[in-house]
Amino acid sequence: MLRSIVSASFMLLVLLSSGCATQERYDYAALEASKPRSILVIPPMNNSIEINASNIYLSTLSRPLAEKGYYVFPVAVINQFLQENGLQSPADMHDVPLEKFAEHLNPDAILYVVIEDWGQKYEILSSTTVVKANMKLVDAKTGKTLWDTQVSYAQGSGDNGGGLVGMLVQAVVDQVVGTIVDPTPGVARTANNIAINNQGRGLLNGPYRAQ
Q: Tens digit of pLDDT for each residue in 21-79?
A: 445 789 999 999 999 999 999 999 999 999 999 999 999 999 999 999 999 999 999 99
DSSP 150-171: EEEEEEE----TTHHHHHHHHH
Q: Residue 128, exposed/middle/buried by CB under 10 A (0-12, 13-18, 19+)? A: middle
Is the separation of the CB atoms in 38 and 70 below 8 Å? yes
- Statement: 25-196 belongs to CATH 3.40.50.2020: no
- Summarize pLDDT for 150-205 with one digit per residue, the tens: 999 999 865 444 444 444 444 444 554 444 579 999 999 999 999 999 999 999 99
CA atoms within 13 A on the CB side of 27: 3
- 23-35 burial: b if 16+ Cβ within 10 Å, else e: eeeeeeeebeebe
* Residue 188 CB coordination number (10 Å): 24
Residue 156 is predicted with a pLDDT of 86
Residue 80 is predicted with a pLDDT of 96
Q: So where are the chain's domains?
A: 25-196
Q: What is the three-class DSSP state of 44?
A: coil
Q: How confident is the model at residue 211 (pLDDT cuts 50, 70, 90)?
A: low
Is the separation of the CB atoms in 53 and 85 below 8 Å? no
- In Å, how far from its chain's centre is CA 92? 21
Interstrand relation of 127-139 and 145-156 (parallel, antiparallel or unpaired): antiparallel
